A and B are shown apart, each in its own frame.
Chain A
Amino acid sequence: MSRDTGTHAVLSDFLGTHTVIVVDDVRKSFGNVKAVRGVSFRAEDGKITGLLGPNGAGKSTTLRILYTLLKPDSGTASVNQHDVLNSPVAARSTMGVLPDPAGIYPRLTARENIAYYGRLQGLDGDRLDKQVESVIELLDLSDFADRRTKGFSHGQRSKVALARALVHEPHNVLLDEPSTGLDVMATRALRNVIRQLRDQRKCVLFSSHVMQEVAALCDAIVIIDKGKVVATGTPDEIRAHTNKDNLEDAFVAAIGSAEGLE
């Protein structure tokens, strides 16, 4: 458990890890609703960081601030040292984002959907073709890559959306509830891709309200509840901090109830 993130960052540098996503006391309200009330955390290279919290805890809002769709009312956030308020375009260019929902274009083929994003990320020519082919392979899309995506299953659409987010080999990968609605096989495939990204020393940040998923995947966990961070650390640290052997019990202890979690 390291509430003192400053010390944690120094320790990370010493161990050869790098903090690439920094969120510092970010707040955001919509009218009278305080969606995020002072969230701070860091996500590092070569690690999978999970934002865990019940529905409505402020996970999506936090991610949207990171990929600069929303502006924080106060606090700062930066990605690869690009401040999200001052240089949003530079910040976005370091990221691959899978929002929720992540709709694709039904009249375009899977390959065209992916290539469109590749082009908007600055790829073209042979490099574009190569990259598109490589994500099609990575996500096992070859069988239906050249079909129009109208009529694709939810799992197929999710794969196309993820491939699209990864086509430019982003350094940071942000996934908002990526496994929602996926069947077992699709979820397994998704987890494998996330682990591969970690092994390529990328920074993966994803949100989930599913405890097992976070427990199974994450190197670092940020537990959010009611717009605030209630615990951060490795799964072991969280277990130790809450004095619970079982991670599920630890989560419940951290949040105070199991409401909204699975």
Chain B
Amino acid sequence: MMRSPLIVFRKEILDNLRDRRTLWSALVFGPLFGPVLFAMLINIQLDRALSKIDEPLELPVSGAEFAPNLIQFLQESNTTILPAPPSAEDAVKARLHDVVLVIPDSYAERFRDGEPAVVRLVADRSNNEAQRQLARARGLLARYSNKIGAMRLQVRGVSPLVSHPIVVEDIDVSTPQGRSVLVLGIMTYFVLFAMLSGGMPMAIDTTAGERERGSLEPLLALPARRPQILAGKLAATCLFMTLSLMITLAAFAISLNFVQLEKLGMSANFGPDVAVKVFLIAWPFVLLGGGLMTFVATFTKSYKEAQTYLTAVLLVPTIPIIFASIYEVQAKLELMAIPSLSQHLLITELLKGNELNPAWVAVSVGSTLLFGLVLAFLAAKRYESEKILG
């Protein structure tokens, strides 16, 4: 009876569409979680990075009276001078201030004599927040020092250029898209996560759930062939995963419009055409993910048990992605044979604005589908075994 997979498929879809929890987690929460969190995180980071530059640097100064010119320079350079706490070290340790500038009373005398005048910046190196403030304060002091140095040379009739034997110019060859990949690289995982979590309730309901309800035994006593029953169930899981994938990509395409990546010199190369390509690259993973979840779920006896194991399965696709990020793996043909890593590398290429190598795409799609078919076959074998009843 070749109609069996279709009958099972339609029943599972109808059945699960009536389950609000499944719908929420499969088609709303799962797919939107990534894009929303992603946009929020990036925006918060952008806000912090951008606003700190415009904000005046708040700098408590002790001994300001010994260096009025320096203080004036700092104030002209967008620094708010605050009265110094009695003990700079204690104030910084207690995190009352991030950075405190201490000007010793010897400053004026040494400055006048043309000797290096010492000032101290007190900061806590373990305080991340203080690093930016410290760097800004140090930069301002260095600028002032250079300025005074240049003036002194000029007064002595020497060109200030003499003191700059080498000038370093940084030339950054990364494209704006290339820079954004650092941020967008994590997106692959969100996409695969949404896809898997979209199919998870269905994969559980159609296997462990069926067993827990006691409806599996009568179903298997029907004349339909068991691999066909499994095919219908797997197809239903795959449909939910596909929908979830579509929703999450659409949400990414929309939410990235609200992220002002341009302000960081990046551009989000994620228009509708890229979204479609990402979909086509990620789609073969649906069979693999669905097959994997169904196969794992056949070993479990209850909904809860299946949930525990499948939540661990959600982490599996992260492993290659994490390794790729740590070792800064570059895309090459052999790596396209590894599912999840190949999707990650191809999607990254797309986000960089690069053309995709057709051979890479072919190997990625082929190997991912092959893994998926093997898992589906293993799950079907489990259905044919008597152990399926537990």
Residues of A within 8 A of B (CB): 67-71, 89-90, 92-93, 95, 97-99, 101-108, 112, 116-117, 119-122, 124, 148, 161, 164-165
| Contacts A108-B15, A120-B4, A121-B223; A102 near B218 (Cβ below 8 A) | yes
Segment touching A, from B209-217, B237-245, B294-302: B209-217
Interface size class of B (residues with CB under 8 A): 20 to 34
Q: How far is the CA of A92 from the CA of B4 in the complex (A)?
A: 15
| Contacts A70-B386, A105-B15, A120-B4; A92 near B221 (Cβ below 8 A) | yes
Shortest beta-carbon distance, B55 to chain A, in Å?
A: 56
Q: Is the CB of A98 within 8 A of B218?
A: yes
Shortest beta-carbon distance, B141 to chain A, in Å?
A: 70
Q: Is the CB of A108 within 8 A of B221?
A: no
Q: How far is the CA of A165 from the CA of B223 in the complex (A)?
A: 12
| Contacts A70-B386, A108-B14, A108-B15; A117 near B213 (Cβ below 8 A) | no
Q: Is the CB of B223 within 8 A of A89?
A: yes
Q: How far is the CA of A119 from the CA of B10 in the complex (A)?
A: 11
Q: Is the CB of B386 within 8 A of A71?
A: yes
Shortest beta-carbon distance, A173 to chain B, in Å?
A: 12
Asked if B224 is an interface residue, CB under 8 A from chain A, the answer is yes
Q: How far is the CA of A129 from the CA of B386 in the complex (A)?
A: 33
Q: How far is the CA of A69 from the CA of B14 in the complex (A)?
A: 27
| Contacts A89-B223, A107-B19; A164 near B3 (Cβ below 8 A) | no
Per DSSP, chain B at the interface is helix
Asked if B335 is an interface residue, CB under 8 A from chain A, the answer is no
Asked if B276 is an interface residue, CB under 8 A from chain A, the answer is no
Shortest beta-carbon distance, B133 to chain A, in Å?
A: 59
Q: Which residues of B contact A119 (CB under 8 A)?
A: 3, 7
Q: Which of A89, A99, A107 is the one whose CB lies under 8 Å from B217?
A: A99
| Contacts A105-B15, A107-B15, A122-B1; A69 near B214 (Cβ below 8 A) | no
| Contacts A70-B386, A119-B3; A103 near B214 (Cβ below 8 A) | yes
Q: Is the CB of B221 within 8 A of A95?
A: yes
Q: How far is the CA of A97 from the CA of B216 in the complex (A)?
A: 12
Q: Is the CB of A101 within 8 A of B3?
A: no
Q: How far is the CA of A89 from the CA of B213 in the complex (A)?
A: 24
Asked if B179 is an interface residue, CB under 8 A from chain A, the answer is no
Q: Which residues of A contact B210 (CB under 8 A)?
A: 103
Q: Is the CB of A69 within 8 A of B217?
A: yes
Q: How far is the CA of A121 from the CA of B14 in the complex (A)?
A: 19
In the complex, which residue of chain A has the Cβ closest to the Cβ of B213?
A: A103
Q: Which of A92, A101, A103, A105 is the one whose CB lies under 8 Å from B222?
A: A92
A-B residue pairs in contact (CB < 8 Å), sample of 16: A69-B221, A69-B389, A89-B224, A89-B225, A90-B223, A92-B223, A99-B217, A102-B218, A105-B15, A105-B213, A105-B215, A116-B7, A117-B222, A120-B7, A120-B224, A122-B3
Asked if B48 is an interface residue, CB under 8 A from chain A, the answer is no
Asked if B95 is an interface residue, CB under 8 A from chain A, the answer is no
Q: Which residues of A contact B14 (CB under 8 A)?
A: 108, 112
In the complex, which residue of chain B has the Cβ closest to the Cβ of A101?
A: B214
Q: Which of A93, A108, A164 is the one whose CB lies under 8 Å from B218?
A: A164
Q: Which residues of B contact A106 (CB under 8 A)?
A: 213
Q: How far is the CA of A165 from the CA of B217 in the complex (A)?
A: 12
Q: Is the CB of B217 within 8 A of A102?
A: yes
User: Can you add 12 more A-B contacts, CB < 8 Å, to A107-B18, A120-B222?
Assistant: A69-B217, A69-B220, A92-B223, A95-B221, A102-B214, A104-B215, A112-B14, A119-B3, A120-B8, A120-B219, A124-B3, A164-B218
Q: Which residues of A contact B222 (CB under 8 A)?
A: 92, 117, 120-121
In the complex, which residue of chain A has the Cβ closest to the Cβ of B232?
A: A120
Q: Which residues of B contact A116 (CB under 8 A)?
A: 7, 11
Shortest beta-carbon distance, B301 to chain A, in Å?
A: 13
Shortest beta-carbon distance, A248 to chain B, in Å?
A: 31
Shortest beta-carbon distance, A110 to chain B, in Å?
A: 14
In the complex, which residue of chain B has the Cβ closest to the Cβ of A89?
A: B223
Shortest beta-carbon distance, B197 to chain A, in Å?
A: 21
Q: Which residues of A contact B4 (CB under 8 A)?
A: 120
In the complex, which residue of chain A has the Cβ closest to the Cβ of B211?
A: A103
Q: How far is the CA of A90 from the CA of B224 in the complex (A)?
A: 10
In the complex, which residue of chain B has the Cβ closest to the Cβ of A96?
A: B221
Q: Is the CB of A99 within 8 A of B221?
A: yes
In the complex, which residue of chain B has the Cβ closest to the Cβ of A90?
A: B223
In the complex, which residue of chain B has the Cβ closest to the Cβ of A91?
A: B223
Q: Is the CB of A69 within 8 A of B386?
A: yes
Shortest beta-carbon distance, A58 to chain B, in Å?
A: 16
Q: Which residues of A contact B219 (CB under 8 A)?
A: 120
Q: Which residues of B contact A164 (CB under 8 A)?
A: 218
Q: How far is the CA of A148 from the CA of B221 in the complex (A)?
A: 23
| Contacts A69-B389, A119-B3; A97 near B218 (Cβ below 8 A) | yes
